């Protein structure tokens, strides 16, 4: 249970992040959610968490912009006092084979998926140090472990998150701050919805468990890493991929 804890979830308005937010809310955590866009869908996702009896607030913040992150983090700390759990989930893709990737495609993916997680962690780690307690979970990808044609920028960013995770685990373990990564495989969200039927069927053949993942499959693993059941686990990468990469 996460009763009374405060969790920051980046990208908690859709897909995997929204599923994490709902799981955390059901476990009793109050939520600070970062996303770049508000609007009806984002508000509805957050309202569904509030219906579970917790405080949930949206902070409009582009995590690739260090000054926006600083401002939003200060607001969160003012609103909630301190932070117990941070889930660096927000991420984007700009896929193409290497010659087709523009400098902007490369910069944007690395800025959001890798630097964004670093900025947000930097903004909250002092608060966790003061509490001598914290759990940080970075959402990487199996693509960061195994590579994938057409995703050089994304794979590099997601592999970078693994190195970041291990470093934070070492840097802050003595302060009782744990840091782990989750590496999802192919999960059915807006990010993966564009996959053509044929490619989807080919992919299913590669999955020992024979189905695409659901956001809730990932959220359950994140809930485990966030709470006390994983108290002696830090610096690890937990694959949630239906056996895609074994
Ligand atoms: P999604 O459905 O596209 O949702 C992405 C979330 O991130 C949205 O809430 C989005 O909100 C937010 N976001 C995007 N850019 C942002 C920025 N610059 N600043 C703040 N928030 C930002 O993605 P998803 O499929 O749930 O993926 C979630 C995470 O899992 C990502 O890190 C992804 O790489 C990883 N992952 C996904 C899969 C998969 O198969 N789906 C597999 C492996 C790993 P706004 O648009 O409002 O900013």
Calculate how far, in angstroms, residue 61's C-alpha sits from the geometric centre of ligand 1. 13
pLDDT tens, residue by residue, 188-246? 998 888 888 888 888 899 899 999 999 999 999 999 999 999 999 999 999 999 999 99
- Confidence tier at 51 by pLDDT (50, 70, 90): very high
Calculate how far, in angstroms, residue 174's C-alpha sits from the geometric centre of ligand 1. 31
- Whether 22 has a pLDDT exceeding 90, the answer reads yes
Calculate how far, in angstroms, residue 5's C-alpha sits from the geometric centre of ligand 1. 23
Query: Which atom of ligand 1 is least distant from the CA of 64?
Result: 18
pLDDT tens, residue by residue, 120-165? 999 999 999 999 999 999 999 999 999 999 999 999 999 999 999 9
Query: Which atom of ligand 1 is least distant from the CA of 158?
Result: 34
Q: Classify each residue of 18-33 as buried b or exposed e, where b means 16 or more C-beta atoms within 10 Å of its C-beta.
A: bbbbbbbbbbebbbbb
Exactly one of 59, 154, 172, 186 is catalytic; name it: 154
pLDDT value at residue 16: 98
Phi, psi of 179 (to 5 degrees): -140, 125
Test site for ligand 1: of 8, 9, 11, most ligand atoms within 8 A of the Cβ: 11
Query: Which atom of ligand 1 is least distant from the CA of 93?
Result: 34
- Confidence tier at 61 by pLDDT (50, 70, 90): very high
Rounded to the nearest integer, the mean pLDDT of the chain is: 97
pLDDT value at residue 187: 97
Domains and CATH numbers, the chain: 6-234 (3.40.50.720)
The secondary structure of 80-110, three-state, reads HCCCCEEEECCCCCCCECHHHCCHHHHHHHH
pLDDT tens, residue by residue, 73-102? 999 999 999 999 999 999 999 999 999 999
**186 classed as catalytic:** no
pLDDT value at residue 195: 80
- Ligand 1 binding pocket (C-beta < 6 A) is 10-11, 13-17, 34-37, 62-64, 89-92, 112, 116, 139, 141, 184, 186-187, 189-192
- Check if the beta carbon of residue 7 is closer than 8 Å to that of residue 24: yes
- Burial class (CB within 10 angstroms; exposed 0-12, middle 13-18, buried 19+) of 179: buried
Atom 47 (ligand 1) nearest CA: 37
């Amino acid at each position: 249970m996460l009763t009374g804890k405060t969790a920051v979830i980046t990208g908690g308005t859709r897909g995997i992040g929204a599923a994490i937010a709902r799981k955390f809310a059901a476990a009793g955590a109050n939520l600070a959610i970062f996303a770049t866009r508000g609007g009806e869908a984002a508000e509805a996702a957050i309202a569904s968490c509030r219906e579970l009896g917790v405080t949930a607030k949206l902070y409009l913040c582009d995590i690739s912009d260090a000054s926006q992150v600083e401002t939003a983090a200060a607001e969160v700390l003012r609103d909630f006092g301190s932070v117990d759990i941070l889930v660096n989930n927000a991420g984007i893709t700009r896929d193409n084979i290497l010659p087709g990737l523009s400098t902007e495609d490369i910069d944007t993916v690395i800025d959001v998926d890798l630097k964004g997680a670093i900025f947000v962690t930097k903004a909250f780690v002092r608060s966790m140090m003061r509490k001598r307690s914290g759990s940080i979970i970075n959402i990487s990808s199996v693509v960061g472990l195994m590579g994938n044609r057409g995703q050089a920028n994304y794979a590099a960013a997601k592999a970078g998150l693994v190195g970041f995770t291990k470093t934070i685990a070492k840097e802050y373990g003595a302060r009782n701050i744990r840091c782990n990564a989750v590496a999802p495989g192919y999960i059915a969200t807006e990010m993966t919805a564009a996959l053509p039927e044929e490619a989807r069927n080919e992919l299913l053949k590669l999955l020992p468990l024979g189905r695409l993942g659901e956001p809730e499959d990932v959220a359950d693993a994140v809930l485990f890493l966030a709470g006390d059941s994983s108290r002696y686990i830090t610096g690890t990468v937990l694959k949630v991929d239906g056996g895609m990469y074994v």
